[in-house]
Every structure is written in C-alpha cells, then in structure tokens.
Structure 1
Amino acid sequence: MELKPVTPFEPLRTEVIPSGSNWVAQVKWDGVRILTYYDGHETRLINRKGNERSRQYPEFIDVPSYCQAHSVILDGEMIALAGGKPSFHEIMKRDSLRREQEISFAVGRTLAIYMIFDILYYNGQWVTNETLEHRQQLLQNIITPHSALQLVPNVQDGEALFTVMKERGWEGMVCKRLDSSYLIGGKDSRWQKLKLGYDLYAVIGGVTYRDGIVNALLLGLYNQEGNFIYIGHAGGGKLKVADLRELTEIIQTMIRETAPFVNQPQRVKGAIWVQPTLSVKVQFMEWTPGGTMRHPVIQGMATVPPEMCVVTQIE
C-alpha cells in the first residue's frame, strides 16, 4: 500500500499554560517538522509542506533499524544542536542541500537528531483516532532510541518546563491532552503551544551593507490581496560571516531600482532593493503599534517559497 503524505496536526498558540492531570508538556524544538512514511519496502521523509526530504537525511531511511513495524507513519522534528541547544540555522545546513556530494559531506559534519513525538499509522492501520496516551505507549513499544533518534518525553509540570525554556533561551513548549486524537490537516486547542516570542518565515525585500557585506535585511510578508508588506529590518542574527558573504553575492543578481513593498519602510537610507525571492526564518519579541517586529533575530535562511510567507502565519 502506498502511503500518501498528509498535513500534520498543529497546535494553537496560547499565553496560558493549561493545567490538570490530563495535560502533558513537551519541549518545542527549533527544527524542521518531518513525517516518516514506511510501507514495508520504501521509506520517504516528508516535511510539513509535503516536500520530499529523504535525500537530505539518509541516516533515517532504514526504518527497521529503529522501528519494529511492517509499515508506519511517524511524526517528529529534525533538529541540530549548536552551543548545546537546538539551532534552526544548523539544521537548515542539512535541509537546504540538494546535491548528493554536498549531502554526503554534511552528514558527517552536521549531526541531525530526529525527535519523534507521535505515530499516525502502524502495521496497516491508522491509529489517529486513538488517544495520545495510547499512541505514545505504542511508540515506546516499537521505537529503539539511539543518540541521533529519540522519543520526546512528557513533562507533567508545564510551569516548570516553561521556566527551564526561558532560562535556556529555547523556543518554548507544546502542551497536549493525553486523551487527544490526531487531527490530520487540523489545528485545535487540544494541542497548544507557548513560545517565548514569535517566529515566522519572511521574504527579503532589501538589504543594507557595511564594508561591502550585507549587514541587515529589510523583510516583508504577503497579505491576502497579494501585496508585499514591510514588517521591519533585522541584522544578520545567527548568520555567520561566511553566510553573509554568500548572501552578498546572491543579492547582486537580484537588485532592482524601486522598493518592492507597498508601504514605506522605516529604514531606507543606504538600502538596496531586491526582488523578493529569498526567505528567512526570523524570531522577534512582539509587534509594535506600527506593525513592525520588535527585536527581530534572523535564525537562518529558509527554503519556503515567497508566496507562502504570508501574514496568516501570525497567530
């Protein structure tokens, strides 16, 4: 039976930590959502948007080596560490690669860790209508963890976990009801996410330079009418000098005379306008009254198509 990709269950954002014995909390990993599809013969790794990522993570293709199942669909997050914590920039070094030689080289340099937190399908049967508690017990029975593949643990004390996330400067946490089924393609309050800030995918519409190297990005999102809206500027963030040099070279081929934004950017002195084709992941604390990001930090370059960098990401 061919297992066709599905859209994974998503949590709703909240500012209040759910309480009660039926709730558990899990770390929210700053990585790439990956579902593993194994039909007994072939393995496919597919991201949240339905794009194939099997070539990028070859070390997880041999499902029988870590999962006792004739067929299975697993849900999890692919992460990479930097400085002892998950780094979106690091995992994108793997996720954005396309050439076999680059991928083979990167496997030994950037360790990908697969954090599995759910199961949708097992031995020819959908288990999405089972409770989360049941699905987690099933994972415990069939998954053999190792250093690069782990089951995401539950934490009963959500307040304590969120305190730890703040202390470590991690992304946040997800709270889930133990009696929740898995809603394919859905999003509801049985899963809730608490984040230390906001993050989204935005498109570069302009840059500024320092000493001939890009040092800041002017960013935008598309609204429902297809207009490109300026949402603020950010420095290089977690992009390293080598990344900024490479970006500088790419930008040279994208320069245009006029700003692509429909609204006037606050920062225009020295700005070079570019075709809005490159996307980045950016984290920020909150929105200003003027509709721009406060304290934005670039997490890394992204592979999200510009047309999917829309205002409806903001939740």
Structure 2
Amino acid sequence: MEPILPMEPKKSEAVPEGNGWLAQIKWDGVRILTYFDGTKVRLYNRKLNERTWNYPELTNLSSYCSAESVILDGEVIAMGEDGKPSFYEVMRRDGIRRKEKLAQMVSIVPVAYMIFDVIYLNREWLNKRPLNERTRLLSDIIEPNEQIQLVSSHRDGNHLFHVIKENGMEGIVLKKEDSPYQIGQKTDHWQKVKNYLDVIAVVGGFTLRGGVVNAVLLGLYNQKGELYYIGHTGTGKLSNQEWRQLTDILKKKEMDDRPFINKPERNDTAHWVRPALTVKIQYAEWRPGHSLRQPSIQSFVDVPPKDCKMPEDGET
C-alpha cells in the first residue's frame, strides 16, 4: 500500500453560497493519513514523509477502528495552554527525531487525531464515492476515544465560521457533500475560509541584540527560483530558550552574501545565512510590494526551502 497525496481545499474569501455544502472546523495541526494493510500501520504527512514513529498513540488501530484494511485522512492536533489547537505545540511532537525525547514528549504534549475521511476500506477504494457516503462508512468503523475523534459536519457554514472567529481558531473547510476524494488534487469541491493568514517562509538573515537573535529576515522563492525578501519578525510563540537555540543554529549557517534578490530594510545590521531553515508565519495581510504586515513566528517546520514560493494568485 503506497502512500498517496491527499486532496486539498482551495482558498476562498467567503463561505460559498448555495445548498449541498458541509462545513467542518479547520484544525490547526499536521495532516496525517493512516494506512493499514491488514498487518502493519503506517502514518504519512501531506508531503509523503513518514510519521509513524512520531505518533505511537495512533498506531494501535484496532483500539479505535474495526476495518480489516483502511486509509484514513485527518489532522493531528495538540492543545495549547489556552485550550485551543496549537500548531506550535504539535510541531514540538512532529519535529522529534530522538527516541528518548519522544518517550518524554508523549506525556508532555498529548495529541489527538481528528479524522474526517476514509479513502480505502477493506480492500476497496472509496475515492470515487461521494463524501456523504464516505462519512457514513467512516462513522461505522471508528470508535472515538480521548485521542481519536470524528470531525463533525455542519450545514450552516456562516454560523460555524462566526463561532470559529469568536474563539480565535484557524478557520473552516467547506465540502460539497457529493464530492469524490480527488487524490492529490486541489479543487473547488473543497474550500477553506481562514480566520487568519499564514505562510511557510525561509529564514535568510537575522539581527542580534545582546548577542541573541531578536529578529529573523524572511523570504519566499519567486518563479525564477530567486529568494525574495518579504519582511522580518521578532515576535511570536518562541520561548526565550528557543530564541537562544535559534541563535546557535543561525550562527552556524552564516555567510557573507545576501541571499535575497531585493534589499531588506534591515540590510545594514543583518547577518546573512544560508537559506535552510523554514518557519510558519502568521500575518495580517500582504502589503503592496509583496511584504507581510504584522508577521509573527508560530513554529519551526520541516519543509524544504524551495517549496516556499511566492503566491501567484493570493493563495496562502
């Protein structure tokens, strides 16, 4: 059973009009597809990187799923201190690479798996069946528990989005109830409406205060493969210890030449680095000239720098 690229929603500025739409909470976590061939359970993210080792809570499939073989689609989330899904917290789990640290972090950062689709069931592909049928089959085979949940669907997308905004959550996904699961595709059958905006950006430089990084300079690659400066930030969810760790990491990547094709406003005080580190950035909007307004760091992410590209049509 080879891993597949998941279906993705297109960005929309508003909840779509008309009938036949189902609205779901857009959970701020890590997209994970679970594969069970009847013998072995494997987990892969949306980039087809294996994550079986990172989330042992999900691998005891028989404790929550009655299928003989299955491919499940969902989002792994972790809660922050405010009781809301936190991308920063889930990345603390997703980025672990040492077994001794994982054993500790399983209890420190518990996760939940929010399942919203089934693509393959008992040796039969379901991707051409409509969403409402797949959802019924999903509810038949999943037994929710504290760490395994089924994502609920709502008819009133505008009301759900209002609730999401009131609670400061990421957004919602609207899905046509008769939509097939289009593997590896991004179509209008699924649309996302976000309460706030985010982008994965490349760190191309930094500034120091008292010997510690106090801001990072961010960029995205244009269509020519050139790194374009989009802004800097020194705010976000990183702890003081993580800023110090970031200082050590970036100092080892320093180089003489500016990696950006355009000149940053902090050009004179900046230290340049080899573009290797990527971060998730939350921001208010794009400003004229292709720069971010009010960017803040949410977390380090494991994304290849060359995948961090300038939006062509406002998509983020």
Same fold (TM over 0.5): yes
RMSD: 1.2
AA aligned opposite 1:26: Q
Q: Which stretches in structure 2 are left out of the alignment for 5+ residues?
A: none
Task: Give 3-state SS (helix, strand or coil) of 1:185's partner.
Answer: coil
Cross-structure match for 1:28:
26
Separation (CA, whole Å) in 1 of partners of 2:86 and 2:201: 18
Separation (CA, whole Å) in 2 of partners of 1:22 and 1:160: 16
Separation (CA, whole Å) in 1 of partners of 2:289 and 2:166: 30
Cross-structure match for 1:70:
68
Separation (CA, whole Å) in 2 of partners of 1:26 and 1:137: 15
1:77-156 correspondence runs (5 A): 77-82=75-80, 83-156=82-155
Query: Per-residue deviation at 1:210?
Result: 2.3
AA aligned opposite 2:138: L
Query: Per-residue deviation at 1:181?
Result: 0.6
User: 1:235–1:297: 8 Å Cα contact kept in structure 2?
Assistant: yes
Task: Give 3-state SS (helix, strand or coil) of 1:81's partner.
Answer: coil
Cross-structure match for 2:235:
236
Cross-structure match for 2:295:
296
Q: Deviations over 1:175-206 (max 9, x none)?
A: 01111110001111110000123212111001
Q: Which stretches in structure 1 are left out of the alignment for 5+ residues?
A: none
AA aligned opposite 1:69: A
Cross-structure match for 2:42:
44
User: 1:29–1:171: 8 Å Cα contact kept in structure 2?
Assistant: yes
Percentage of pairs with the same residue: 50
Cross-structure match for 2:52:
54
1:163-174 correspondence runs (5 A): 163-174=162-173
Query: Per-residue deviation at 1:270?
Result: 2.3
Task: Give 3-state SS (helix, strand or coil) of 1:147's partner.
Answer: coil
AA aligned opposite 1:64: S
Q: Deviations over 1:119-165 (max 9, x none)?
A: 10000000011111011111111101111110111122111111122
TM-score (norm 2): 0.96
Query: Per-residue deviation at 1:19?
Result: 3.1
User: 1:203–1:221: 8 Å Cα contact kept in structure 2?
Assistant: yes
Task: Give 3-state SS (helix, strand or coil) of 1:44's partner.
Answer: strand
Deviates further, 193-202 or 68-77: 193-202
Task: Give 3-state SS (helix, strand or coil) of 2:254's partner.
Answer: coil
AA aligned opposite 2:64: Y
Separation (CA, whole Å) in 1 of partners of 2:170 and 2:279: 17
Task: Give 3-state SS (helix, strand or coil) of 2:255's partner.
Answer: coil
Query: Per-residue deviation at 1:20?
Result: 3.4
Separation (CA, whole Å) in 2 of partners of 1:214 and 1:169: 29
Separation (CA, whole Å) in 2 of partners of 1:177 and 1:95: 31
Query: Per-residue deviation at 1:267?
Result: 2.4
Cross-structure match for 2:178:
179
AA aligned opposite 1:127: L
Separation (CA, whole Å) in 1 of partners of 2:112 and 2:126: 25
Task: Give 3-state SS (helix, strand or coil) of 2:279's partner.
Answer: strand
Query: Per-residue deviation at 1:312?
Result: 4.4
Query: Per-residue deviation at 1:232?
Result: 0.7
Separation (CA, whole Å) in 2 of partners of 1:285 and 1:312: 15
Query: Per-residue deviation at 1:211?
Result: 2.4
User: 1:196–1:285: 8 Å Cα contact kept in structure 2?
Assistant: no
User: 1:255–1:273: 8 Å Cα contact kept in structure 2?
Assistant: yes
Query: Per-residue deviation at 1:235?
Result: 1.7
AA aligned opposite 1:73: I
Separation (CA, whole Å) in 2 of partners of 1:129 and 1:48: 20
User: 1:236–1:244: 8 Å Cα contact kept in structure 2?
Assistant: no
AA aligned opposite 2:115: I
TM-score (norm 1): 0.97
Q: Deviations over 1:72-105 (max 9, x none)?
A: 0000011111011111110000001111111111
Deviates further, 26-35 or 208-217: 208-217
Cross-structure match for 1:251:
250
AA aligned opposite 2:33: L
Cross-structure match for 2:284:
285
